[in-house]
Amino acid sequence: MDAVTAAQKSVPAELPKGVLALTVTDVTHYTDRLFHFTTTRPASFRFRSGEFVMIGLPGGEKPVYRAYSIASPNWADDLEFFSIKVPDGPLTSRLQHVKPGDTIYMREKSTGTLVHDALLPGKRLYMFSTGTGIAPFASLIRDPETYAKFDQVILTHTCREVAELKYGLDLVASIRADEMLNELFDTSKLLHYTSTTRETYAFSGRITDLITSGKLFADLGLPPLNPAEDRGMICGSMDMLKDIKALLEAAGLNEGANNKPGEFVIERAFVG
Ligand code: A2P
């Protein structure tokens, strides 16, 4: 029996209501804390780039669901997710062991605030991420709408260690080398700024410190934050969201939402 057939056998004949079954097609482990997986995309499933869904696993008495940003763009045939591994996490202790052919459950409704509709028009879009918080931006930096709306798109990604940056570095390199994407949008509009906090690397320090000191802007050759031109999206831990939100507000930017677009939006990265 091949892997796909084996996994399909483990799916109950009747799926829970409102749940779609995804088949894992690829898994990449970056470190002992981070991994990425790709799944099939059900034909009926639609979402906006930057949104999240609830993910769970079959088996167990009551499936545990956790919020996951979809890392793939809305036009892609596959779905991609970037996940942390928590040894005793209710979901990730099992999820980190998935293999191609395994089944994952996904609630069919996607939602989220890291979407274009929640931002007012602007010149530059900053996407601030730490750790797995890069996931929604992995989706948005492959969406032509992002480049239709902004002259420059600046993705910042800060992790503890260099190996944790690899997913984003490989992704941006693949975007720049992709013929189809180069036809769809100007990939040179995308700037990628990476830094580490616990290992030596070309750029070091928390993104909050790099904003406060002005080093981020000096390194990129960009002006300081300006509410007339700059927009922001933030995804990371609760503390990171709070600290960057305070810095953006101090620069005069106001938080937006789906029903009230503003100058920046925030979303917590998956945690457990
Ligand atoms: P640090 O190493 O100084 O804690 P984590 O893996 O714990 O989610 O952290 C991801 C990255 O986010 C780390 O580089 C971490 O830096 C950084 N970080 C943690 N808290 C904050 C914060 N309040 N503001 C900015 N960056 C933060």
Enclosing domain of residue 26 = 3-107
The confidence score (pLDDT) of residue 1 equals: 46
Q: Is the CB of 130 under 6 A from ligand 1?
A: yes
Token pair for residue 160?
Answer: 């503890």
Q: Is the CB of 134 under 6 A from ligand 1?
A: no
26 inside domain = yes
d(CA 162, CA 201): 7
Same domain, 244 and 154: yes
Contact 93, 78 (CB under 8 A): no
The confidence score (pLDDT) of residue 271 equals: 65
Question: Pick from 107, 142, 162: which residue ends a domain?
Answer: 107
271 inside domain = no
d(CA 10, CA 77): 24
233 inside domain = yes
Q: Is the CB of 146 under 6 A from ligand 1?
A: no
Same domain, 62 and 191: no
Token pair for residue 206?
Answer: 């928390």
Question: Pick from 52, 85, 107: which residue ends a domain?
Answer: 107
Token pair for residue 247?
Answer: 């810095």
Same domain, 133 and 257: yes
Same domain, 75 and 148: no
24 inside domain = yes
| CB-count exposure of residue 195 (10 Å: 0-12, 13-18, 19+) | buried
pLDDT digit of tens for each residue in the chain (272 aa)?
454 554 444 556 678 889 999 999 999 999 999 999 999 999 999 999 999 999 999 987 778 999 999 999 999 999 999 999 998 999 999 999 999 999 999 999 999 999 999 999 999 999 999 999 999 999 999 999 999 999 999 999 999 999 999 999 999 999 999 999 999 999 999 999 999 999 999 999 999 999 999 999 999 999 999 999 999 999 999 999 999 999 999 999 999 998 999 999 999 887 65
The confidence score (pLDDT) of residue 61 equals: 75
Dist. CA 158 → ligand 1 center (Å): 7
Ligand 1: atom nearest CA of 242 is 23
Same domain, 135 and 97: no
Same domain, 238 and 154: yes
**Coil/strand/helix, residue 107:** strand
Q: Is the CB of 204 under 6 A from ligand 1?
A: no
231 inside domain = yes
Token pair for residue 178?
Answer: 């992709």
